[in-house]
């Protein structure tokens, strides 16, 4: 088992690497379109407006199925994630989770699939009246081929005095997120799933 000192060294190296990443310029244009919220659980992201809900059991506000990138389908397949299209004509009910990403076990055969290519969604859980709290981001495991961002972070938020906000994200998996070849390198991006994670953080 790694010592606390070696863990700290790895954590500091990861922090330094993250600080070297480009800043969130992708969303600068849509930020200007945001307006003041008209309700406690209505959130204006500039490109879409979401209405969350209160979980009466945990006392945690939730916003599920928030689109953070354009659907990576068609000409956007195997490309870097793009800012979502503007959709400000309605308020989106953020009660239900968005689609899960296609899982490695999905076979190209008739019948229901456990995932969709249109899967770049995240979920937010926050204590009521949260203000200036740190944000805990959960990036699910699964060997880059399985998993989803539907984790219930409310218990850990409650157990820690409701002192942080939880965000769980999804990213392209398997061949859609981590295929690598010379042709793909020349015509798209490799490690699209990692680019999705970075985009979600933006």
pLDDT at 15: 47
Which comes out higher in pLDDT, residue 194 or 6? 194
pLDDT at residue 156 greater than cutoff 80: yes
Tracing tokens 């068609």 back to the chain, one arrives at 74
Q: For residue range 38-78, what is the model confidence (pLDDT) as tens digits?
A: 567 999 999 999 999 999 999 999 999 999 999 999 999 99
Residues ≥6 apart with Cβ < 8 Å to 41: 51, 52, 53, 54, 61, 63
Pairing between β-strand 48-51 and β-strand 121-127 as defined by DSSP bridges: unpaired
3-state secondary structure of 30: helix
With 0-12 / 13-18 / 19 or more C-beta atoms within 10 angstroms meaning exposed / middle / buried, residue 117 is middle
Q: What angle do CA 10, 15, 18 make, to 5 degrees?
A: 125
Pairing between β-strand 87-93 and β-strand 48-51 as defined by DSSP bridges: parallel
What number is the average pLDDT over the span 2-21? 49
3-state secondary structure of 36: coil
Least confident residue range of 5-9, 95-99, 164-168, 178-182: 5-9
Tracing tokens 């203000």 back to the chain, one arrives at 131
Q: Are the C-beta atoms of 88 and 47 separated by less than 8 Å? A: yes
Q: Are the C-beta atoms of 94 and 103 separated by less than 8 Å? A: no
Q: CA-CA distance, 157 to 167, in Å (whole number)?
A: 11
Q: For residue range 80-133, what is the model confidence (pLDDT) as tens digits?
A: 999 999 999 999 999 999 999 999 875 454 444 579 999 999 999 999 988 899
Residues ≥6 apart with Cβ < 8 Å to 75: none
Would you list the domain boundaries of the chain?
Answer: 49-102+114-201
Q: What pTM was computed for the model?
A: 0.80
Tokens of 74: 């068609």
Residues ≥6 apart with Cβ < 8 Å to 1: none
Pairing between β-strand 60-67 and β-strand 48-51 as defined by DSSP bridges: unpaired
């Amino acid at each position: 088992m790694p010592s606390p000192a070696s863990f700290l060294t790895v954590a500091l190296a990861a922090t330094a690497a993250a600080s070297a990443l480009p800043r969130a310029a992708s969303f600068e244009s849509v930020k200007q379109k945001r307006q003041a919220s008209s309700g406690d659980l209505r959130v204006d992201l500039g490109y879409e407006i979401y209405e969350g809900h209160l979980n009466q059991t945990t006392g945690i506000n939730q916003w599920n199925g928030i689109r953070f990138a354009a659907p990576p389908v068609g000409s956007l397949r195997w490309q870097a994630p793009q800012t979502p299209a503007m959709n400000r004509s309605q308020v989106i009910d953020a009660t239900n989770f968005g689609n899960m990403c296609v899982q490695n076990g999905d076979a190209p055969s008739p019948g229901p699939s456990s995932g969709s290519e249109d899967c770049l969604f995240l979920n937010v859980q926050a204590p009521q009246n949260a203000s200036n709290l740190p944000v805990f981001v959960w990036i699910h495991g699964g060997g880059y081929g399985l998993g989803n961002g539907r984790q219930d972070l409310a218990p850990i938020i409650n157990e820690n005095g409701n002192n942080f906000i939880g965000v769980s994200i999804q990213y392209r998996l398997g061949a859609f997120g981590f295929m690598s070849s010379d042709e793909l390198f020349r015509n798209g991006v490799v490690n699209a799933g990692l680019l999705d994670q970075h985009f979600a953080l933006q």
